[in-house]
Protein backbone atom coordinates (compact mmCIF):
# COMPACT_ATOMS: atom_id res chain seq x y z
CA UNK A 1 0.00 0.00 0.00
CA UNK A 2 3.07 2.18 -0.06
CA UNK A 3 2.53 5.29 -2.18
CA UNK A 4 -1.21 4.75 -2.50
CA UNK A 5 -3.37 7.76 -1.78
CA UNK A 6 -6.45 9.50 -3.16
CA UNK A 7 -4.44 11.49 -5.70
CA UNK A 8 -2.84 8.32 -7.09
CA UNK A 9 -6.19 6.54 -7.22
CA UNK A 10 -7.87 9.45 -9.03
CA UNK A 11 -4.99 9.62 -11.49
CA UNK A 12 -5.25 5.90 -12.25
CA UNK A 13 -9.04 6.13 -12.55
CA UNK A 14 -8.67 8.98 -15.04
CA UNK A 15 -6.34 6.76 -17.09
CA UNK A 16 -9.16 4.23 -17.37
CA UNK A 17 -8.20 1.67 -14.72
CA UNK A 18 -10.97 0.25 -12.60
CA UNK A 19 -10.74 0.17 -8.79
CA UNK A 20 -10.32 -3.62 -8.92
CA UNK A 21 -7.35 -3.25 -11.27
CA UNK A 22 -5.81 -0.62 -8.99
CA UNK A 23 -6.33 -2.87 -5.95
CA UNK A 24 -4.63 -5.74 -7.75
CA UNK A 25 -1.75 -3.52 -8.88
CA UNK A 26 -1.07 -2.30 -5.32
CA UNK A 27 -1.90 -5.66 -3.72
CA UNK A 28 -4.64 -4.29 -1.47
CA UNK A 29 -8.29 -5.18 -0.93
CA UNK A 30 -10.90 -3.59 -3.14
CA UNK A 31 -12.46 -1.84 -0.11
CA UNK A 32 -9.25 0.14 0.44
CA UNK A 33 -9.56 1.66 -3.02
CA UNK A 34 -13.28 2.14 -2.59
CA UNK A 35 -12.73 4.00 0.68
CA UNK A 36 -10.09 6.25 -0.87
CA UNK A 37 -12.49 7.48 -3.53
CA UNK A 38 -13.69 10.93 -2.57
CA UNK A 39 -17.12 10.25 -1.12
CA UNK A 40 -17.79 13.95 -0.60
CA UNK A 41 -17.78 14.51 -4.35
CA UNK A 42 -20.36 11.77 -4.91
CA UNK A 43 -22.54 13.12 -2.09
CA UNK A 44 -22.27 16.69 -3.37
CA UNK A 45 -23.28 15.65 -6.89
CA UNK A 46 -26.20 13.66 -5.48
CA UNK A 47 -27.40 16.72 -3.60
CA UNK A 48 -27.10 18.79 -6.77
CA UNK A 49 -29.44 16.34 -8.48
CA UNK A 50 -27.04 14.40 -10.70
CA UNK A 51 -28.08 10.86 -11.65
CA UNK A 52 -25.88 7.84 -10.95
CA UNK A 53 -24.81 7.62 -14.59
CA UNK A 54 -23.96 11.35 -14.70
CA UNK A 55 -21.89 11.03 -11.51
CA UNK A 56 -20.04 8.00 -12.86
CA UNK A 57 -19.17 9.85 -16.08
CA UNK A 58 -18.16 13.05 -14.30
CA UNK A 59 -15.90 11.31 -11.75
CA UNK A 60 -14.75 8.59 -14.17
CA UNK A 61 -16.10 5.82 -11.93
CA UNK A 62 -18.11 2.83 -12.97
CA UNK A 63 -21.85 2.90 -12.49
CA UNK A 64 -21.55 0.02 -10.04
CA UNK A 65 -19.08 1.87 -7.80
CA UNK A 66 -21.33 4.90 -7.51
CA UNK A 67 -24.34 2.69 -6.90
CA UNK A 68 -22.50 0.75 -4.17
CA UNK A 69 -21.44 3.98 -2.50
CA UNK A 70 -24.99 5.29 -2.51
CA UNK A 71 -26.46 2.06 -1.16
CA UNK A 72 -23.75 1.83 1.52
CA UNK A 73 -24.02 5.36 2.83
CA UNK A 74 -27.51 6.48 1.91
CA UNK A 75 -29.07 4.54 4.78
CA UNK A 76 -27.32 6.96 7.14
CA UNK A 77 -28.83 9.88 5.25
CA UNK A 78 -27.31 12.47 2.99
CA UNK A 79 -26.44 15.92 4.27
CA UNK A 80 -28.96 18.57 3.26
CA UNK A 81 -28.58 22.32 3.50
CA UNK A 82 -31.61 24.55 3.90
CA UNK A 83 -31.40 28.29 3.37
CA UNK A 84 -33.05 30.49 5.94
CA UNK A 85 -34.83 33.80 5.81
CA UNK A 86 -32.54 36.81 5.83
CA UNK A 87 -35.09 39.27 7.16
CA UNK A 88 -36.17 39.16 10.83
CA UNK A 89 -39.55 37.79 11.80
CA UNK A 90 -39.98 40.43 14.47
CA UNK A 91 -39.01 44.10 14.67
CA UNK A 92 -39.14 44.48 18.45
CA UNK A 93 -39.58 42.32 21.56
CA UNK A 94 -43.32 42.96 21.84
CA UNK A 95 -43.86 41.25 18.49
CA UNK A 96 -42.64 37.92 19.91
CA UNK A 97 -46.04 37.50 21.59
CA UNK A 98 -47.97 37.93 18.35
CA UNK A 99 -48.51 35.22 15.78
CA UNK A 100 -47.04 36.36 12.46
CA UNK A 101 -49.55 37.16 9.72
CA UNK A 102 -48.37 36.16 6.28
CA UNK A 103 -49.79 37.51 3.06
CA UNK A 104 -49.40 35.96 -0.36
CA UNK A 105 -47.35 38.97 -1.44
CA UNK A 106 -44.89 38.56 1.42
CA UNK A 107 -43.92 35.04 0.30
CA UNK A 108 -40.98 34.52 -2.03
CA UNK A 109 -41.05 32.12 -5.01
CA UNK A 110 -39.57 29.19 -3.04
CA UNK A 111 -42.23 29.49 -0.33
CA UNK A 112 -44.99 29.69 -2.94
CA UNK A 113 -43.62 26.60 -4.72
CA UNK A 114 -43.42 24.72 -1.41
CA UNK A 115 -47.00 25.70 -0.60
CA UNK A 116 -48.28 24.63 -4.03
CA UNK A 117 -46.40 21.32 -3.82
CA UNK A 118 -47.89 20.66 -0.39
CA UNK A 119 -51.40 21.42 -1.61
CA UNK A 120 -50.99 19.18 -4.69
CA UNK A 121 -49.55 16.34 -2.61
CA UNK A 122 -52.35 16.44 -0.05
CA UNK A 123 -55.23 17.12 -2.46
CA UNK A 124 -56.55 13.58 -1.98
CA UNK A 125 -56.82 14.11 1.77
CA UNK A 126 -58.40 17.55 1.79
CA UNK A 127 -60.37 17.43 -1.46
- Model confidence pLDDT, tens digit, residues 89-98: 777 888 778 7
Mean pLDDT of 97-105: 82
- CATH 1.10.10 in the chain: give the residue spans: 6-76
pTM of the predicted model as reported, rounded to 2 decimal places:
0.40
Per-residue pLDDT tens digits for 19-71 = 778 888 888 887 777 777 766 678 788 888 888 899 888 877 778 878 877 77
CATH code for the domain defined by 6-76: 1.10.10
What is the SS3 assignment for the chain?
Answer: CCCCCHHHHHHHHHCCCCHHHHHHHHCCCHHHHHHHCCHHHHHHHHHCCCCHHHHHHHHCCCHHHHHHHHHHHHHHCCCCCCCCCCCCCCCCHHHHHCCCCCCHHHCCHHHHHHHHHHHHHCHHHHC
Amino acid sequence: MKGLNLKVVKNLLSKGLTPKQIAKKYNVKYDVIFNLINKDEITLLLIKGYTISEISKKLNLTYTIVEKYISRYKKNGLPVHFDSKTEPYYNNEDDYLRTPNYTWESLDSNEINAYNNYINKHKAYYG
